[in-house]
Every structure is written in structure tokens, then in C-alpha cells.
Amino acid sequence: MTPSRRQFAHTLAAATGALALGSASAQTSQTQATSRLAPIYPKRLKAGDTIGLVSPAAATYEREPVDIAIESLQALGFKVKQSPYLRGRYGHFGGTDAQRAESINSMFADDSVDGILAMTGGSGCNRIVDKLDYALIRKHPKFFGGYSDLTSLVNAIQVQTGLVTFHCPMGASEWNEFSTSHFRSVVMEGQAALLRNPSDVKQRGDNLVQTQDRIRTLRGGRARGPLIGGNLAVLTSLAGSAYWPDFRGAILFIEEVNEYIYRVDRMLSQLRLAGALQQLSGVVIGKFTKCTPGEGYGTLTLDEVFDDYFLPLNIPVFSGAMIGHIKLKFTVPVGGEVEIDADAGSIQLLRPAVL
């Protein structure tokens, strides 16, 4: 075979292989595109139920925060079962990877436990996301909640089992009237709740206009879909894994804390490059607390970053929702069907998130 023919044959073989690979990839993508599980709704929590308190992320170094968390849950009417590793520590984690995973698996397996709540966030949940027994969880569905670093677990459990989980206050959170009332309405009373920022000016210092917790509409309109999301950094860290949410037709909600703006930009770029943003039906931007320019010359503002990534999508988007590292927070069902109104800045649950 002449060099030119040999080169042509190699080129043809490579092209054929690429087409075959592309076809295989397309088949894989098609398979993944039909993999969203039907939602499983946990039973609503009620007074007298037992909450399993676990520490799947950072360690709690002092005794009093744990005591306060237990007393807060008891004040809500619950009994509290402490994980054997609740006060554990391995480095800055609340126990070894095996211990932290076992604390969740055992709470799901325990029929005397009605729901599971994380003590606190921090970091470490990604280390155990592949150590949970998802078949067990699917057989014993129950309330599971937390936020911040728990973003990886609430999304992973929802993706792997279909169980609706909750981005909500944790044991160590401030259980004020606002947060408690939203938790009760969604998780305990089973309301198809309307989540909307407070707008009573007089409650906020008699200003002529509202100056706190304002809603900004990036693009108006309404959209429906299952809720996915949470902390932006943790969410993007799941990209490429089996625990990455299905973004097709979903409503994405995001929040962040203590990240420079250029890092927020990079995280949103990752979502765009992964093809996630282009599949959404709507976006809810929560609080980006202490997300500053940092050092260096010049920066885009958060508003400009959000405009750059979300306006080209031509879908409803609003920012400022009471979701994130803040004192007053919504309880948000991950995997729950909702409708957002970007003009009103609201999230309407289309059905109760619990049975």
C-alpha cells in the first residue's frame, strides 16, 4: 500500500472510529436522558416523631452547639436520636468516612427513626457520597435534610433513589420564627407552600421602601419543573459523577458564601460548559453572602456575572430568594415540582413535598 493510500486508510479508520464513538456517546447520553426516577415523597414529620441527628460533614468541637441543636428539635416537638458519631472527629470531619456514611445508612435502616437531619455543614460530604446504601434508602424513604455541604448528599440521594430531600435548616442553624414556620409548613403540615420573601417594610426599620431581602428580576415569566441545586461550589463539584442532577427542564436554585466573584464566575462557567444551564426551564438565585471582589485590579459585579450567564438562556430568572447562609431561610424540596414566578420572585410548590 502506498504511503498516500495508507494515510487515507488510517484517516478513514479514524473517522469511522470517531463516528462509532460518537454514536456510542449519543446512545449513552440518550440512556442518561431517560434516567430520571419518579419522585418518592417521604412521610410528613409530626410531633412525637424521632429525628436522627447526624454529622456527615464537619465536626462540632464544642458540646453546647450539640445541646442547643437537640433542645431546638425537642422544642419543635421531636424526639432526638443521636448518631454514635455525632460528636466524633477525624481531622476536621465529624468522624471517618466510614463512620459518617454508616451514621446515615443506619438511620435510614432504623424504623424507629422518622427523619434524618444534619448537625452542620462545612466539608466532607463528597468523600462519602459513594458510600451510601442507595438501595437501602430507596426501601426506607424518610425525610432527609441539610444545606451548604449537604448539597452533595441531598442531590445524590434524590438522583439515585428519587426521594425528595430538603435544603433546609440544620441542627446547628438558628431556629427563628421565619425558618421554623417555613420548615413546619413544608415538612410537617404538608402544605403546597408559596415561598416568597417578606415585604413588610415596617418590620425592617420603617424605611420608605424595602431595603433588605429584595427581589431582582433578571428575566420575567413563569416556569415549571423539578427543583435541583443548593450551594454552587458543592453542586459543581458533582459534575461528571453519577450524582450529578438531571438538569433537563429543571428549576435550578443556587446560593454561595465566602467566595470571590471570579470563583463564582468560574463555577457558573463550569455549569455552562457542561451543558447544564442550557437545559434549564428557570433559575432562582439565592443569597451570595460575603462574595466579594477580593484583591487585584477590577472585577465584574455579581449582578454582571449573573446577567452574563443567565440572560442568554431566555428563561425566567430572579435573584434574592431567602435561600443560603442566612438566618432567615426557606425549606426547599429538592426534586419537588414547583412553578416559579420571576416577576413576583416566588416559588410555588405544585404539590406537597411530603405524604
Q: List residues with catalytic annotation.
A: 148, 255, 325
Order of strands, sheet of 194-196, starting from the edge strand that comes earlier in the sequence: 194-196, 346-349, 337-341, 222-231, 251-257, 282-289, 317-319, 216-219
In this structure, which amino acid lies at residue 88? G
Cα diameter, the chain: 88
Can you name the residues that pair with 225 across neighbouring β-strands?
338
Q: What residues contact residue 353 under an 8 Å CB cut-off, 6+ apart?
A: 41, 164, 166, 186, 187, 190, 333, 336
CA 146 to CA 117: how far, in whole Å?
6
Taking a C-beta distance cutoff of 8 angstroms, is the pair 114, 51 a contact? yes
- Distance, CA of 110 to CA of 107 (rounded, Å): 5
CA gap 313, 110 in Å, rounded: 45
b/e code 272-282 from CB counts within 10 Å (16+ = b): beeebbeebbb
DSSP codes joined into one string, 9-31 = HHHHHHHHHHHHHHHHHHHHHHH
The three-state secondary structure class of 145 is strand
